Amino acid sequence: MRYVILVISTTVLVASGCRDSGTSSPPIEADLALVGVDVLDVSEGRLLENRTILILGTRISAMGSRDSLSVPSGTARLDGVDGKVVTPGLIDAHIHLRDADTTALLDYLAAGVTTAREMNGRPFLLEWRDRIDAGELIGPTLRVAAPTLANFSSPREGYPTPESRSEANAVVSSFRATGYDWIKVYSFLGSDPFLGVMEEANRLAVPVAGHVPIEAGLRVTMSSGIGSIEHLTEYVSSSLLPESRDLDEEDFRSVFGAGEVNWAAVDSLVDATVAAGTWNVPTLVWFDRNLPVPMAEAAWADPGLRTQGETNRREIVRRLHSAGALLAVGTDSDAGGDLPASAFHDEMAALVEAGLRPLDVIRLATVGGAALLGMLDDVGTLSAGKRADLLILPCNPLDDLGCVRRSEAVVARGRLVTRPSGSGMH
């Protein structure tokens, strides 16, 4: 995919006109205007028609009806947006930037993902995060989790393996001092070190996310105060009926949820999730696309099992959502690797398949992600003062969520990201 990044000057082109003395409201400043757009009010679930959005630098400086909000003279106007639908930028709560190639950042922006949480950080990603914040690098606003904490049998380079509570305390404190935004835990972190992670993270008020540590289990993990759990895995693995398990396939069936499920057991876990206030990031699309462990590849080729797994995972999402559990949209994508940035659109489609309305899915993808990341003051909705992160769509995504996939332009931090045939400016 080819696209062009047009960098709008952040210089204030027109500061103010002459004003009568006694005028109290300050002049509105802007360097980019979107005139005549229909803005999706995500919270209320309706379109605000015929609006003008004024952008100054990286933020929305004003938003109002086209009739009441005039564009300061000299402000650049984006052509061809009249009647188009504007939504807040999308938030992918689970990505992996695999190497020091910044191309992937542009892939996320082109997909409309203007904020993302990197789930296995390294020092260069902290540098990217800060350079993006400073306007020196173009990419989605990043939140970066620390390197994954686990007790791998053969430790991987860069993966700390705390064995005790005190070792886990020290690792968390060191990651926090290094500047990571989240602590990431993995399935194979022992119960004691996991509780040590949570103890120190809660003390330092640094959020924790990741796989449910198998030894601790889902209920202990949720009651420990973890912020978000990824992939839904334990909802299925702890609820599969015994006859659905096959020794040779146990890992496959548990991880991918291919089996007969005890739904009463799932509902009990759903209730515990709501009570604990734990977020879930289902990453349905990762499981839909990826093969399980090599030993189960033959079984995974059975379309019946694949369908059963897909259906079970969607049903768990539906039950979580209808019970009021907190959900955000994440892909586990690694743009430039196995799963592209555009998998976010597939994840949204999968959530519709799970029974959520398009409005529900857009909420999870915007305000949901913003709430999970503690960024509601900056992103997730569109209003004056919020970061100028938005998508310009050819149609109303409440009627057809596929509209989001066909975005005509993306504005990230006030910068227009578009394809060569996209909208121009004058």
Q: Which residues bind Zn ion (CB under 5 A)?
A: 119, 332
Task: Name the residue among 102, 139, 98 with its Cα closest to residue 119.
Answer: 98
**Shortest Cβ 181–Zn ion spacing (Å):** 16
- Residues 369, 328: contact at Cβ < 8 Å? yes
Considering the complex, state which of residue 234 and residue 332 has its C-beta at the smaller distance from Zn ion: 332
- Residues 354, 317: contact at Cβ < 8 Å? yes
**Shortest Cβ 373–Zn ion spacing (Å):** 16
**Shortest Cβ 136–Zn ion spacing (Å):** 27
Considering the complex, state which of residue 332 and residue 389 has its C-beta at the smaller distance from Zn ion: 332
What is the identity of the amino acid at 420?
Answer: P
Residues with Cβ within 8 Å of residue 219, at least 6 apart in sequence: 269, 272
Residues facing 77 on adjacent strands: 33
Residue 100 CA: distances (Å) to CA of 105, 273, 342: 11, 37, 20
Q: Please give the radius of gyration of the chain, using alpha carbons only, rounded to the nearest integer.
A: 23
Considering the complex, state which of residue 51 and residue 313 has its C-beta at the smaller distance from Zn ion: 313
- Among the residues of 205-262, which ranges form H helices? 217-223, 233-237, 250-256
**Shortest Cβ 351–Zn ion spacing (Å):** 18
From CA 185, how far away is CA 194, in angstroms rounded? 8
**Shortest Cβ 95–Zn ion spacing (Å):** 8
CA-CA-CA-CA dihedral for 128, 130, 133, 134, to nearest 10: -110
From CA 232, how far away is CA 230, in angstroms rounded? 6
Considering the complex, state which of residue 10 and residue 187 has its C-beta at the smaller distance from Zn ion: 187
Structure tokens at 416: 């227009």
Considering the complex, state which of residue 20 and residue 157 has its C-beta at the smaller distance from Zn ion: 157
From CA 323, how far away is CA 121, in angstroms rounded? 32
Strands 4-6, 415-418: pairing is: antiparallel
The residue whose Cβ lies closest to Zn ion is 332
Which H or E run contains 229?
strand 228-230
Considering the complex, state which of residue 244 and residue 283 has its C-beta at the smaller distance from Zn ion: 283
**Shortest Cβ 184–Zn ion spacing (Å):** 9
Considering the complex, state which of residue 236 and residue 261 has its C-beta at the smaller distance from Zn ion: 236
**Shortest Cβ 357–Zn ion spacing (Å):** 27
Rounded to the nearest 10 degrees, the angle between the axes of helix 263-276 and helix 303-323 is 40
Considering the complex, state which of residue 121 and residue 397 has its C-beta at the smaller distance from Zn ion: 121
What does 91-127 look like in DSSP terms, one character per residue?
Answer: EEEEE---SS-THHHHHHHHTTEEEEEESS--HHHHH
Considering the complex, state which of residue 197 and residue 411 has its C-beta at the smaller distance from Zn ion: 197
Considering the complex, state which of residue 53 and residue 344 has its C-beta at the smaller distance from Zn ion: 344
**Shortest Cβ 219–Zn ion spacing (Å):** 23
Residues with Cβ within 8 Å of residue 218, at least 6 apart in sequence: 212, 229, 234, 235, 238, 269, 272
Q: Centre a 10 Å sphere on the Cβ of residue 18 and count the other Cβ atoms it contains.
A: 6
Considering the complex, state which of residue 119 and residue 198 has its C-beta at the smaller distance from Zn ion: 119
**Shortest Cβ 364–Zn ion spacing (Å):** 18
Structure tokens at 224: 């420990």
**Shortest Cβ 119–Zn ion spacing (Å):** 5
**Shortest Cβ 283–Zn ion spacing (Å):** 7
Residue 242 is classified by DSSP as G
